[in-house]
A and B are shown apart, each in its own frame.
Chain A
Amino acid sequence: MQRFEAGAVIDGFELAEKLPAGGMASLWRATNPRYDFPLVLKIPFLDPGGDVSVILGFEAEELILKRLSGPHVPRFAAAGSLSRVPYLAMEFVAGTGLADVVGDAPLPVDEVARIGTEIATALAALHRQKVVHLDLKPENVILAERGAVLLDFGLARHAELPDLLGAESSVPMGTAAYISPEQVLGERSDPASDLFALGCILYQLATGEEPFGRPATLAGMKRRLYHAPRSPRDIDEAIPRWLEAVILRCMEVDRSRRYVEAAHLLSDLRNPDQVVVARRKPQDKGVWAAIAKLFRKTDERSLVGKPTLSRKQAGPSIVLAAVDLANGSDALAGEVLNETARVLASREDSWLACVTVLRTEIIGETRAADESGRPVYLKRLVALKDWAHPLHLPEDRISYHVLEAVSPADAILDYAEHNDVGHIVVGARASSAIRRHLGSVSTKVVAQALCSVSVVRLKVVEEQARPL
């Protein structure tokens, strides 16, 4: 095996300083004038006759890293050929390792939510690029200035690439403390697996304890299919119910009950007051229940539920309906509601954010308007809930937002971008001289939205049609 030392040059990369690393590869800070960002070289330990999965993981990481972009992954620089010196050269990301932060857990609630938000944002970006990380753990997350950056794609899976690593392997691949139940059963394709791991991380940050310990055997890892960890509030009653609900929803064994998308988790972390805190059913206890459970032969696959992918392809996860209720619920508001119902119908677990905008004259007027304005705000919120009522959505599929803003279009766009909305439904009033002069809300939303937009307009009756 080749040994490397500082000063050695590989394909133009000069090794500078060895960094602490795990057992699969060595990490080196490196320099190369061809790249305008700081570099790190990952050099796998490849012994002749060694475990072939190390090489496969190395190759899989190269394939995936090459295809990823954006602020939440290190930039790919180059890869060395396996036949000469194998290495992966990528951006060195400066920041705080989450592994260091975990040492200080339990952390204050705000801090847990902030870190959760950053990682969920990074996961949303990763999943949008058709990649599942499958080994999310504190050691693989850097909290950088630009947000959370995910490292180590050695176990990751790209939906459009062959799974070189997973073929015919029913041995679970991942890290015992964070691995999802479906991964324990050998499944390697569901983005929801990363949300499970994130749930474990948040659990640890909030309570200071690892939810499942670090089992060393397959049977030990399988325990998580059958036994829920202690609830966070059992450990520390100061943890708010909403945060406990969010963490446990990430950690649902059955994927039909887990968050399907990082965007949805993100939204809950940002809007704690809208998290539905379900009364949890007491576990079946007692001798008879335990005996009955012993004899009930369960199919492990049925416990983890169906993969979430088919649901994700059906339609947008989060729909934003922007409705103008300044003059009460009118015909256009009714049509916006109808269109919203059609968009929601494409996907059974889609989630609706109802937005209406209270127009203010100047920026920062909010506080002054509080005394007299509060009733206005409340009145609008009541109107918004009344508008959405005919949809009969359960409360965990809908949220209400009365935004105060000078520009309704900006408020809608801002909300949509921050909450990873997949589809916006907005009404457009018939054209008028004033509207043409000022520009309409829907026009601006259509022009600037980062997702699909449905513009709803009332069908013009003939007499009202514009004159020739």
Chain B
Amino acid sequence: MRIAILSDIHANREAFDAALEAAQKRDPDEVVLLGDLVGYGPDPVYVIEKAVDLVARGALCIMGNHDEAVARNLGNMTENARFAAQWTRERLASTHLDFLARLPLSLQSENRLYVHASADRPAKWSYIRDVDAAERCLASTDARFIFCGHTHVPAIYYALPGRRPMHFQPLDNVAAPLSALGRHLVIAGAVGQPRDGNPAACFVLVDTQRHEVTMVRVPYDHEETARKIQAAGLPGWLGMRLKIGR
């Protein structure tokens, strides 16, 4: 079974299209949108409508903190994010807002748990940036595989019996093994706003037969996205960071 996981799309149409096309070429059996469809980017309507369409065809979709902030009109974020959330909200119809508001915080499919930030109190939106946070996440569920996004930086934590979780930074486009012994916490890189220094869109491909997980990188026209961000009157830094991948 092959699973494609797209996280942190952030209303970036160009990145979403490129990643989805690359994912679909691999003929996945399950497609997961791992939260933060919107926020930061200039194309929220396009991304939401595409997500609605994918969900109608069987894809799984969960809520991210930006989706929540836009749907519930919350202001609990950094200045750029708050501004972008407000900007996004003004452009969405009630059906769009309704779709975001109804997204679940997590979903389980077989032995795989999908949650945007952490399985440890998902609605707190905490970041998994170190082994301690990974350990808390792993301790709060018995799922063999947990997939999170939120940090925009790809990582795999191997939870092997009798040991603390081990951090591994997966290489781009190189399959990392899934241990037959352990549980795994996979942090997906971002489709629409990578922050690991590589501007190419990132999505996760899992192959359960081969016991492998790959961070697939897909270059896209980020100049165009940055131009739209500028034209929309969104903060310039949001376009700049797409070019440098930070």
A contact residues vs B (CB 8 Å cutoff) = 52, 55-56, 59, 63, 81-83, 160-162, 164, 167-168
A83→B179 CA distance, assembly (Å): 12
In the bound complex, residues from chain B placing their C-beta under 8 Å from that of A81 are: 180
Given known contacts A55-B181, A59-B181, A164 and B176 CB-to-CB distance under 8 angstroms? no
Q: Is B162 an interface residue (CB 8 A)?
A: yes
B139-172: CB near A (< 8 Å → 1, else 0) gives 0000000000000000010101111101010010
A161→B176 CA distance, assembly (Å): 6
Measured CB to CB, the closest approach of chain B to A12, in angstroms, equals 19
In the bound complex, residues from chain B placing their C-beta under 8 Å from that of A168 are: 163-164, 166
Contact call A162/B180, Cβ cutoff below 8 A: no
Interface residues of B in 177-217 (CB under 8 A from A): 177, 179-181
In the bound complex, residues from chain B placing their C-beta under 8 Å from that of A161 are: 176-177
In the bound complex, residues from chain B placing their C-beta under 8 Å from that of A160 are: 171, 174
Of the candidates B156, B162, B171, B174, the one whose C-beta lies within 8 Å of that of A52 is: B162
Contact call B163/A52, Cβ cutoff below 8 A: yes
Measured CB to CB, the closest approach of chain A to B211, in angstroms, equals 9
The 6 sampled A-B contact pairs (Cβ below 8 Å) are A52-B161, A52-B163, A59-B180, A83-B180, A162-B176, A162-B177
Measured CB to CB, the closest approach of chain B to A49, in angstroms, equals 10
Interface residues of B in 2-38 (CB under 8 A from A): none
A56→B158 CA distance, assembly (Å): 12
Given known contacts A52-B161, A59-B179, A162 and B174 CB-to-CB distance under 8 angstroms? no
New A-B contacts (8) at CB < 8 Å, excluding given A63-B177, A167-B166 = A52-B161, A56-B181, A160-B171, A161-B177, A162-B158, A167-B158, A167-B160, A168-B166
In the bound complex, residues from chain B placing their C-beta under 8 Å from that of A82 are: 180-181
A160→B173 CA distance, assembly (Å): 11
Contact call B160/A162, Cβ cutoff below 8 A: no
Of the candidates A63, A83, A164, the one whose C-beta lies within 8 Å of that of B160 is: A164
A160→B169 CA distance, assembly (Å): 10
A410→B109 CA distance, assembly (Å): 60
Sort chain B's interface into a size bin.
10 to 19
Contact call A164/B166, Cβ cutoff below 8 A: yes
**9 shortest interchain CB distances as A-B pairs:** A162-B168, A167-B166, A82-B180, A52-B162, A63-B177, A160-B174, A52-B161, A160-B171, A55-B181
A167→B174 CA distance, assembly (Å): 20
**CB-CB nearest in chain B for A63:** B177
Contact call A167/B163, Cβ cutoff below 8 A: yes
Contact call A52/B160, Cβ cutoff below 8 A: yes
In the bound complex, residues from chain B placing their C-beta under 8 Å from that of A55 are: 161, 181
A55→B162 CA distance, assembly (Å): 12
In the bound complex, residues from chain A placing their C-beta under 8 Å from that of B171 are: 160
**CB-CB nearest in chain B for A169:** B163
Contact call A162/B166, Cβ cutoff below 8 A: yes
In the bound complex, residues from chain A placing their C-beta under 8 Å from that of B161 are: 52, 55
In the bound complex, residues from chain B placing their C-beta under 8 Å from that of A63 are: 177
Contact call B180/A164, Cβ cutoff below 8 A: no
In the bound complex, residues from chain B placing their C-beta under 8 Å from that of A52 are: 160-163
Measured CB to CB, the closest approach of chain B to A237, in angstroms, equals 51
A59→B177 CA distance, assembly (Å): 10
A160→B212 CA distance, assembly (Å): 13
Q: Which one of B160, B161, B174 has the highest number of Cβ atoms from chain A below 10 Å of its Cβ?
A: B160
In the bound complex, residues from chain B placing their C-beta under 8 Å from that of A164 are: 158, 160, 166, 179
In the bound complex, residues from chain A placing their C-beta under 8 Å from that of B168 are: 162
A168→B156 CA distance, assembly (Å): 16
In the bound complex, residues from chain A placing their C-beta under 8 Å from that of B162 are: 52
**CB-CB nearest in chain A for B168:** A162
Measured CB to CB, the closest approach of chain A to B158, in angstroms, equals 6
A82→B211 CA distance, assembly (Å): 13
In the bound complex, residues from chain A placing their C-beta under 8 Å from that of B181 are: 55-56, 59, 82
In the bound complex, residues from chain A placing their C-beta under 8 Å from that of B164 are: 168
Measured CB to CB, the closest approach of chain B to A88, in angstroms, equals 13
**CB-CB nearest in chain A for B171:** A160
Measured CB to CB, the closest approach of chain B to A229, in angstroms, equals 36
Measured CB to CB, the closest approach of chain A to B40, in angstroms, equals 31
Measured CB to CB, the closest approach of chain A to B157, in angstroms, equals 10
A167→B134 CA distance, assembly (Å): 15
A168→B162 CA distance, assembly (Å): 12
A160→B164 CA distance, assembly (Å): 21
Contact call B156/A162, Cβ cutoff below 8 A: yes
A162→B211 CA distance, assembly (Å): 14
Measured CB to CB, the closest approach of chain B to A454, in angstroms, equals 29
In the bound complex, residues from chain A placing their C-beta under 8 Å from that of B158 are: 162, 164, 167
**CB-CB nearest in chain B for A161:** B177
A55→B179 CA distance, assembly (Å): 11
Measured CB to CB, the closest approach of chain B to A39, in angstroms, equals 22
In the bound complex, residues from chain A placing their C-beta under 8 Å from that of B160 are: 52, 56, 164, 167
In the bound complex, residues from chain B placing their C-beta under 8 Å from that of A83 are: 180
A162→B163 CA distance, assembly (Å): 15
A95→B162 CA distance, assembly (Å): 40
A168→B165 CA distance, assembly (Å): 10
A161→B164 CA distance, assembly (Å): 18
Measured CB to CB, the closest approach of chain B to A47, in angstroms, equals 13
B106-129: CB near A (< 8 Å → 1, else 0) gives 000000000000000000000000
Measured CB to CB, the closest approach of chain A to B180, in angstroms, equals 5
